[in-house]
Amino acid sequence: MIRSGFAESRHRGSVLVLGADGEPLLSAGQVARPMFPRSVNKPLQAVAMLRAGLDLDGKLLALAAASHSGEDFHVAGVREILAGAGLAESALRCPPALPMDEQSKREVLRHGGGPDRVHMNCSGKHAAMLACCVAAGWPVDSYLDPGHPLQAAIRRTLEELAGEQVQAVGVDGCAAPLFALSLTGVARALRVLVTAPAASPERRVADAMRAYPDWTSGSRRPERALMAAVPGLLVKSGAEGVEGLALADGRAAAFKIEDGAARARPAVMVALLRWLGVAGDPGTVAALDRIGHVPVLGGEQEVGAIRATLPR
Protein backbone atom coordinates (compact mmCIF):
# COMPACT_ATOMS: atom_id res chain seq x y z
CA MET A 1 0.00 0.00 0.00
CA ILE A 2 1.44 3.35 -1.07
CA ARG A 3 0.53 6.46 0.96
CA SER A 4 1.89 9.83 -0.15
CA GLY A 5 4.59 8.12 -2.17
CA PHE A 6 5.70 5.98 0.80
CA ALA A 7 5.28 2.18 1.05
CA GLU A 8 3.23 2.04 4.25
CA SER A 9 2.12 -1.62 4.28
CA ARG A 10 2.80 -4.84 2.40
CA HIS A 11 0.40 -7.72 1.87
CA ARG A 12 2.16 -10.91 0.79
CA GLY A 13 0.51 -14.01 -0.55
CA SER A 14 0.61 -17.17 -2.63
CA VAL A 15 -0.68 -17.56 -6.17
CA LEU A 16 -1.12 -20.31 -8.74
CA VAL A 17 -2.11 -19.90 -12.40
CA LEU A 18 -3.03 -22.88 -14.59
CA GLY A 19 -2.97 -22.87 -18.37
CA ALA A 20 -5.81 -24.08 -20.57
CA ASP A 21 -4.21 -27.55 -20.46
CA GLY A 22 -4.22 -27.55 -16.64
CA GLU A 23 -0.45 -27.17 -16.35
CA PRO A 24 1.00 -24.44 -14.09
CA LEU A 25 1.93 -21.16 -15.77
CA LEU A 26 2.79 -19.27 -12.60
CA SER A 27 3.39 -20.53 -9.08
CA ALA A 28 4.62 -18.62 -6.06
CA GLY A 29 4.37 -19.26 -2.35
CA GLN A 30 2.54 -22.08 -0.59
CA VAL A 31 0.35 -23.36 -3.43
CA ALA A 32 0.28 -27.00 -2.28
CA ARG A 33 -0.31 -26.39 1.42
CA PRO A 34 -3.90 -26.85 2.68
CA MET A 35 -5.76 -23.66 3.57
CA PHE A 36 -9.39 -22.75 4.13
CA PRO A 37 -10.81 -21.40 0.84
CA ARG A 38 -13.76 -19.97 2.73
CA SER A 39 -16.51 -18.89 0.32
CA VAL A 40 -14.46 -19.86 -2.74
CA ASN A 41 -15.74 -23.37 -1.91
CA LYS A 42 -19.34 -22.30 -2.55
CA PRO A 43 -19.47 -23.09 -6.30
CA LEU A 44 -18.08 -26.55 -5.52
CA GLN A 45 -20.66 -27.03 -2.76
CA ALA A 46 -23.38 -26.06 -5.23
CA VAL A 47 -22.14 -28.73 -7.66
CA ALA A 48 -22.42 -31.32 -4.89
CA MET A 49 -25.97 -30.24 -4.11
CA LEU A 50 -27.06 -30.50 -7.76
CA ARG A 51 -25.61 -34.00 -7.91
CA ALA A 52 -27.60 -34.87 -4.76
CA GLY A 53 -30.90 -33.74 -6.26
CA LEU A 54 -31.15 -29.97 -5.68
CA ASP A 55 -33.53 -28.54 -8.28
CA LEU A 56 -32.33 -24.99 -8.90
CA ASP A 57 -31.18 -23.15 -11.98
CA GLY A 58 -30.47 -19.66 -13.25
CA LYS A 59 -30.59 -16.86 -10.72
CA LEU A 60 -31.43 -19.10 -7.77
CA LEU A 61 -28.55 -21.46 -8.56
CA ALA A 62 -26.22 -18.45 -8.70
CA LEU A 63 -27.59 -17.44 -5.31
CA ALA A 64 -26.85 -20.92 -3.95
CA ALA A 65 -23.17 -20.28 -4.76
CA ALA A 66 -23.24 -16.69 -3.53
CA SER A 67 -21.73 -14.49 -0.89
CA HIS A 68 -24.55 -12.07 -1.52
CA SER A 69 -24.85 -8.44 -0.47
CA GLY A 70 -28.24 -8.71 1.23
CA GLU A 71 -30.05 -6.61 -1.37
CA ASP A 72 -33.81 -6.96 -1.68
CA PHE A 73 -33.65 -9.36 -4.64
CA HIS A 74 -31.18 -11.58 -2.78
CA VAL A 75 -33.49 -11.81 0.21
CA ALA A 76 -36.48 -12.53 -2.04
CA GLY A 77 -34.49 -15.29 -3.75
CA VAL A 78 -33.52 -16.94 -0.47
CA ARG A 79 -37.17 -16.92 0.59
CA GLU A 80 -38.15 -18.43 -2.78
CA ILE A 81 -35.69 -21.31 -2.33
CA LEU A 82 -37.00 -21.99 1.16
CA ALA A 83 -40.64 -21.77 0.11
CA GLY A 84 -40.00 -24.19 -2.76
CA ALA A 85 -38.77 -26.70 -0.19
CA GLY A 86 -41.69 -26.05 2.14
CA LEU A 87 -39.48 -24.45 4.77
CA ALA A 88 -39.59 -21.23 6.78
CA GLU A 89 -36.75 -18.80 7.47
CA SER A 90 -36.45 -20.28 10.95
CA ALA A 91 -34.88 -23.38 9.35
CA LEU A 92 -31.76 -21.39 8.48
CA ARG A 93 -28.81 -22.00 10.81
CA CYS A 94 -26.50 -19.26 9.54
CA PRO A 95 -25.94 -16.45 12.07
CA PRO A 96 -28.00 -13.23 11.96
CA ALA A 97 -26.35 -10.35 10.12
CA LEU A 98 -27.06 -7.05 8.45
CA PRO A 99 -26.63 -6.73 4.66
CA MET A 100 -23.06 -6.41 3.38
CA ASP A 101 -24.25 -3.74 0.97
CA GLU A 102 -24.10 -0.35 2.72
CA GLN A 103 -27.15 1.07 0.95
CA SER A 104 -29.22 -2.00 1.80
CA LYS A 105 -27.96 -1.93 5.38
CA ARG A 106 -29.10 1.66 5.78
CA GLU A 107 -32.52 0.77 4.41
CA VAL A 108 -32.95 -2.10 6.86
CA LEU A 109 -31.96 0.11 9.79
CA ARG A 110 -34.08 3.03 8.57
CA HIS A 111 -37.15 0.78 8.66
CA GLY A 112 -36.39 -0.42 12.18
CA GLY A 113 -34.88 -3.73 11.19
CA GLY A 114 -31.78 -5.42 12.53
CA PRO A 115 -29.59 -8.44 11.93
CA ASP A 116 -31.41 -11.55 10.78
CA ARG A 117 -30.50 -14.84 9.13
CA VAL A 118 -32.00 -14.17 5.71
CA HIS A 119 -29.82 -11.09 5.17
CA MET A 120 -26.62 -12.95 6.09
CA ASN A 121 -24.37 -13.25 3.03
CA CYS A 122 -24.35 -17.07 3.12
CA SER A 123 -28.12 -17.49 3.43
CA GLY A 124 -28.44 -18.50 -0.25
CA LYS A 125 -26.07 -21.41 0.32
CA HIS A 126 -27.86 -22.39 3.52
CA ALA A 127 -31.28 -22.24 1.87
CA ALA A 128 -29.96 -24.42 -0.95
CA MET A 129 -28.48 -26.89 1.56
CA LEU A 130 -31.87 -27.17 3.23
CA ALA A 131 -33.67 -27.58 -0.10
CA CYS A 132 -31.16 -30.26 -1.09
CA CYS A 133 -31.86 -32.16 2.13
CA VAL A 134 -35.60 -32.07 1.43
CA ALA A 135 -35.06 -33.29 -2.14
CA ALA A 136 -32.77 -36.12 -1.01
CA GLY A 137 -34.89 -37.12 1.97
CA TRP A 138 -32.16 -36.27 4.45
CA PRO A 139 -32.67 -34.78 7.95
CA VAL A 140 -33.05 -31.01 7.90
CA ASP A 141 -32.32 -30.00 11.49
CA SER A 142 -28.78 -31.42 11.48
CA TYR A 143 -27.72 -30.25 8.01
CA LEU A 144 -24.61 -28.50 9.39
CA ASP A 145 -23.25 -31.58 11.15
CA PRO A 146 -19.98 -32.61 9.41
CA GLY A 147 -21.21 -36.21 9.47
CA HIS A 148 -24.55 -35.38 7.80
CA PRO A 149 -25.10 -37.06 4.40
CA LEU A 150 -25.16 -33.64 2.73
CA GLN A 151 -21.78 -32.63 4.15
CA ALA A 152 -20.32 -36.04 3.31
CA ALA A 153 -21.50 -35.60 -0.29
CA ILE A 154 -20.00 -32.10 -0.42
CA ARG A 155 -16.67 -33.36 0.87
CA ARG A 156 -16.55 -36.15 -1.74
CA THR A 157 -17.33 -33.69 -4.52
CA LEU A 158 -14.72 -31.18 -3.39
CA GLU A 159 -12.07 -33.91 -3.29
CA GLU A 160 -13.03 -35.13 -6.75
CA LEU A 161 -13.07 -31.68 -8.36
CA ALA A 162 -9.86 -30.55 -6.64
CA GLY A 163 -8.00 -33.79 -7.28
CA GLU A 164 -6.81 -34.01 -3.68
CA GLN A 165 -7.93 -35.12 -0.25
CA VAL A 166 -9.39 -32.70 2.30
CA GLN A 167 -6.69 -32.32 4.95
CA ALA A 168 -8.63 -30.44 7.63
CA VAL A 169 -12.22 -29.64 8.56
CA GLY A 170 -13.20 -26.43 10.32
CA VAL A 171 -16.25 -24.27 10.92
CA ASP A 172 -16.87 -21.41 8.50
CA GLY A 173 -18.09 -17.99 9.56
CA CYS A 174 -21.62 -19.03 8.58
CA ALA A 175 -21.41 -22.16 10.82
CA ALA A 176 -21.22 -24.62 7.92
CA PRO A 177 -18.41 -27.20 7.78
CA LEU A 178 -15.33 -25.82 6.05
CA PHE A 179 -13.10 -28.17 4.06
CA ALA A 180 -9.45 -27.30 3.54
CA LEU A 181 -7.95 -27.43 0.04
CA SER A 182 -4.75 -26.09 -1.47
CA LEU A 183 -4.62 -23.22 -3.96
CA THR A 184 -3.71 -25.85 -6.54
CA GLY A 185 -6.85 -27.80 -5.71
CA VAL A 186 -9.05 -24.70 -5.85
CA ALA A 187 -7.69 -23.68 -9.25
CA ARG A 188 -8.14 -27.23 -10.57
CA ALA A 189 -11.72 -27.36 -9.33
CA LEU A 190 -12.74 -24.03 -10.86
CA ARG A 191 -11.13 -25.10 -14.13
CA VAL A 192 -13.31 -28.23 -14.11
CA LEU A 193 -16.44 -26.10 -13.70
CA VAL A 194 -15.85 -24.02 -16.85
CA THR A 195 -14.59 -26.89 -19.03
CA ALA A 196 -17.25 -29.45 -18.08
CA PRO A 197 -19.85 -30.52 -20.68
CA ALA A 198 -22.88 -28.30 -21.12
CA ALA A 199 -25.78 -29.12 -18.76
CA SER A 200 -23.53 -31.04 -16.36
CA PRO A 201 -23.82 -29.98 -12.71
CA GLU A 202 -20.38 -28.38 -12.89
CA ARG A 203 -21.16 -26.35 -15.99
CA ARG A 204 -24.64 -25.40 -14.74
CA VAL A 205 -23.08 -23.75 -11.69
CA ALA A 206 -20.44 -21.94 -13.75
CA ASP A 207 -22.98 -20.78 -16.32
CA ALA A 208 -25.45 -19.55 -13.68
CA MET A 209 -22.76 -17.57 -11.86
CA ARG A 210 -21.49 -16.00 -15.09
CA ALA A 211 -24.98 -15.18 -16.35
CA TYR A 212 -26.13 -13.64 -13.06
CA PRO A 213 -23.05 -12.18 -11.30
CA ASP A 214 -25.23 -9.71 -9.36
CA TRP A 215 -26.95 -12.72 -7.75
CA THR A 216 -23.60 -14.34 -6.91
CA SER A 217 -22.25 -11.18 -5.26
CA GLY A 218 -24.17 -7.91 -5.53
CA SER A 219 -25.06 -4.94 -7.70
CA ARG A 220 -22.11 -2.88 -6.49
CA ARG A 221 -19.43 -5.53 -5.92
CA PRO A 222 -16.05 -5.90 -7.71
CA GLU A 223 -16.82 -9.53 -8.56
CA ARG A 224 -19.88 -8.50 -10.54
CA ALA A 225 -17.99 -5.75 -12.34
CA LEU A 226 -15.18 -8.14 -13.26
CA MET A 227 -17.50 -10.77 -14.72
CA ALA A 228 -19.34 -8.07 -16.68
CA ALA A 229 -16.05 -6.70 -18.03
CA VAL A 230 -14.48 -10.03 -19.07
CA PRO A 231 -16.75 -12.37 -21.08
CA GLY A 232 -16.69 -15.95 -19.83
CA LEU A 233 -14.92 -15.09 -16.57
CA LEU A 234 -15.92 -16.96 -13.41
CA VAL A 235 -14.85 -15.28 -10.14
CA LYS A 236 -15.47 -16.23 -6.53
CA SER A 237 -14.03 -14.45 -3.52
CA GLY A 238 -13.70 -15.68 0.04
CA ALA A 239 -12.86 -14.28 3.44
CA GLU A 240 -9.26 -13.97 4.64
CA GLY A 241 -7.95 -12.79 1.28
CA VAL A 242 -8.82 -15.82 -0.86
CA GLU A 243 -9.97 -15.58 -4.47
CA GLY A 244 -10.34 -17.91 -7.43
CA LEU A 245 -11.03 -17.41 -11.11
CA ALA A 246 -11.47 -19.40 -14.29
CA LEU A 247 -11.70 -18.29 -17.91
CA ALA A 248 -13.85 -19.96 -20.55
CA ASP A 249 -10.81 -21.50 -22.25
CA GLY A 250 -9.84 -23.40 -19.08
CA ARG A 251 -7.17 -21.10 -17.69
CA ALA A 252 -7.65 -20.75 -13.94
CA ALA A 253 -6.02 -19.16 -10.93
CA ALA A 254 -6.29 -18.94 -7.16
CA PHE A 255 -4.53 -16.82 -4.60
CA LYS A 256 -4.52 -16.14 -0.87
CA ILE A 257 -3.27 -12.99 0.84
CA GLU A 258 -1.27 -14.19 3.83
CA ASP A 259 -2.58 -11.65 6.34
CA GLY A 260 -6.18 -12.06 5.12
CA ALA A 261 -6.50 -8.47 3.86
CA ALA A 262 -9.58 -8.23 1.65
CA ARG A 263 -8.56 -4.80 0.39
CA ALA A 264 -5.74 -6.37 -1.64
CA ARG A 265 -8.00 -8.74 -3.59
CA PRO A 266 -9.26 -6.44 -6.40
CA ALA A 267 -5.77 -5.17 -7.23
CA VAL A 268 -4.31 -8.69 -7.33
CA MET A 269 -7.23 -10.06 -9.36
CA VAL A 270 -6.89 -7.34 -12.00
CA ALA A 271 -3.12 -7.84 -12.11
CA LEU A 272 -3.67 -11.56 -12.76
CA LEU A 273 -6.19 -10.91 -15.53
CA ARG A 274 -3.77 -8.51 -17.19
CA TRP A 275 -0.98 -11.09 -16.81
CA LEU A 276 -3.27 -13.57 -18.58
CA GLY A 277 -3.76 -11.07 -21.40
CA VAL A 278 -7.54 -10.59 -21.15
CA ALA A 279 -7.45 -6.77 -21.27
CA GLY A 280 -7.83 -6.44 -25.03
CA ASP A 281 -10.53 -3.98 -26.09
CA PRO A 282 -10.70 -0.41 -24.70
CA GLY A 283 -13.85 -1.11 -22.73
CA THR A 284 -12.27 -4.00 -20.86
CA VAL A 285 -9.10 -2.00 -20.24
CA ALA A 286 -11.09 0.88 -18.75
CA ALA A 287 -13.15 -1.48 -16.57
CA LEU A 288 -10.06 -3.23 -15.23
CA ASP A 289 -8.40 0.13 -14.54
CA ARG A 290 -11.44 1.16 -12.51
CA ILE A 291 -11.85 -2.10 -10.59
CA GLY A 292 -8.16 -2.55 -9.89
CA HIS A 293 -7.69 0.95 -8.51
CA VAL A 294 -8.00 0.69 -4.72
CA PRO A 295 -7.48 4.22 -3.36
CA VAL A 296 -5.82 5.17 -0.10
CA LEU A 297 -7.38 8.23 1.54
CA GLY A 298 -5.87 10.98 3.63
CA GLY A 299 -8.80 12.85 5.09
CA GLU A 300 -11.18 13.08 2.12
CA GLN A 301 -8.45 13.15 -0.51
CA GLU A 302 -6.84 10.27 -2.38
CA VAL A 303 -3.17 10.17 -1.40
CA GLY A 304 -2.17 6.76 -2.69
CA ALA A 305 -3.33 3.34 -3.80
CA ILE A 306 -2.83 -0.38 -3.32
CA ARG A 307 -0.54 -1.77 -5.99
CA ALA A 308 -0.20 -5.42 -6.94
CA THR A 309 3.13 -6.90 -8.00
CA LEU A 310 3.19 -10.44 -9.37
CA PRO A 311 6.30 -12.65 -9.31
CA ARG A 312 8.28 -12.72 -12.53
Q: What average pLDDT score do residues 8-35 get? A: 97
CA nearest to 207, candidates 79, 74, 59: 59
Bridge partner list, 16:
27, 254
Q: Measured on CA atoms in the order 209, 215, 216, 221, is the torsion positive or negative?
A: positive
The predicted pLDDT at position 11 comes to 95
> Are residues 222 and 291 in contact, defined by beta-carbon separation less than 8 angstroms?
yes
- Rounded to whole angstroms, what are the CA distances from 305 to 146, 255, 264? 42, 20, 10
The predicted pLDDT at position 281 comes to 80
Degrees to nearest 5, angle at CA 167 with 162 and 171: 100
Sort 258 into a burial class: Cβ within 10 Å, 0-12 / 13-18 / 19+: middle
pTM: 0.96
Radius of gyration, alpha carbons of the chain: 19
* pLDDT tens digits, 269-292: 999 999 999 977 888 899 899 999
Q: Confidence class of residue 312 from pLDDT cuts 50, 70 and 90?
A: confident
* pLDDT tens digits, 236-250: 999 999 999 999 999
Q: What average pLDDT score do residues 181-207 get? A: 98
The predicted pLDDT at position 271 comes to 95
CA nearest to 255, candidates 177, 206, 309, 176: 309
